[in-house]
Amino acid sequence: MAMTTEPFSAETIGELLRQARETAKITQAAAAAALDIARTTLIAIEQGQRRPRIDEMQKLAALYGTSLNELLRQDARKVDLRPRFRKIGEHDEKVESAIALLNNLVQAEVELENLLGITRVRLDPPERPILAGKIAVQAEQDAWELRQWLGLGLAPINDMVSLLELHLGARVYVRRLDPKISGLYAFDDVAGACILLNAAHPRDRRAQTGGHELGHFVSTRRAPDAVHAGNIESSREERYANTFGRCLLAPARAVMGKFQEVTAGASKLTRRHVIVLAHYFGISREAMVRRLEELGLTKVGTWDWFTHQGGISDDQAREVLGDLIPPDDAKADAKRQISMRMSLMASEAWRRSLVSEGQLARLLQIDRVDARALIDEFEAEGVETDGSRSLLA
């Protein structure tokens, strides 16, 4: 049966071709040369100003490591987060690299879900636009409201990633980034909330970044965010997100109660007090002290005093907490080429013969050697589970 592109507009086809080319990391000049056309003609095709012929599309699809059927799959859900980030100004090369990584991870997950017919369950929290008035008051109230909505009450959030991913259905990835980058956030109607956290940072700092990004998810849902060392807390949106994160992780009533319990009988705030409190709430020692200052439980400038006295070190925390410090599993997972969830979906797609080795390599942004090693793992797992019980009754 002859293939037709009639259901697709020239603009849609151009956008699909552009996304496929960028995913394959092929320049416009190289693609134009492969078709033996001028680069300006390829630009016109990608912008929907010139409708490509079927044979041209077939050549481009092959060049991009896909098929025309896959490219034009009508039920495919395409996600491109990069244009959203371009709206928030210029970035350096390392931030751009992190944005590209987040985009690739989300696109791969969405395509695998589409192949397998999986619908991701999302529970987007109520939106709370930032209003006139005191930012701190709004952020505190909204963070407490979200806690109630999630049924958390005053309990500590021991795993921010699980809260975001399992409770809210957000797409959360923990990968090694440049140390200056803490995290990225973007929202897409198809993919939902998408968050990238830096595995190179300690767990408590990632929790704070996750809380910050959740603040954007609640207040400025469709505005992307890039948290990096150059951030200046000048806008109301950034002040809201920072305060929201602190209040969500360390709600006022819980902090006051635990502070009274931990410091009972003491006349001074000690390093041990700070270490125990920070561990309980899962935040950094600095964030804990600044929250105590914010709530009037210790003098303003207490953290600066600790800093001038040599700070509160990780070694001191280990002396106090010992085995209570949990291993950081996210750091080990970050060394993997793909997330555990994507690995499971990729394995199932391969088992069902829905993807070829080349398509798997392109989809997961890995080379053919690594794709083959991954497939060998899938096949070994398949042999081990041949006698397993079915998930269906």
pTM: 0.75
How would you list the strands of the sheet with 181-188, edge to edge?
A: 171-175, 192-198, 181-188, 225-228
- pLDDT tens profile 168-185: 999 998 888 999 999 999
- For 176-307, strand residue ranges (E) read 181-188, 192-198, 225-228
pLDDT over 70 (residue 138): yes
145: Cα within 13 Å, side-chain hemisphere = 14
User: Six-digit token pair at 342?
Assistant: 């994507």
- pLDDT tens profile 148-167: 999 999 999 988 988 998 89
pLDDT over 60 (residue 5): no
Q: Which CATH superfamily is domain 10-74 in?
A: lambda repressor-like DNA-binding domains (1.10.260.40)
pLDDT over 70 (residue 315): yes
- pLDDT tens profile 217-230: 999 999 999 888 76
Rounded mean pLDDT, 39-44: 93
Q: Which residues of 328-367 are buried (b: 16+ CB within 10 A; e: fewer)?
A: eebbebbeeebbeebbebbbebbeeeebeeebbbbbbbbe
Domain boundaries, the chain: 10-74, 84-249, 252-330, 336-384
Please give the class, per CATH, of domain 84-249: mainly alpha
- pLDDT tens profile 98-124: 999 899 889 888 888 877 888 888 899
- pLDDT tens profile 230-270: 666 678 999 999 999 999 999 999 999 999 999 998 889 99
Between 387 and 347, the more confident residue is 347
Rounded mean pLDDT, 26-47: 93
What's the Cα-to-Cα distance from 253 to each of 39, 140, 146, 245, 260, rounded to whole Å?
62, 11, 15, 15, 11
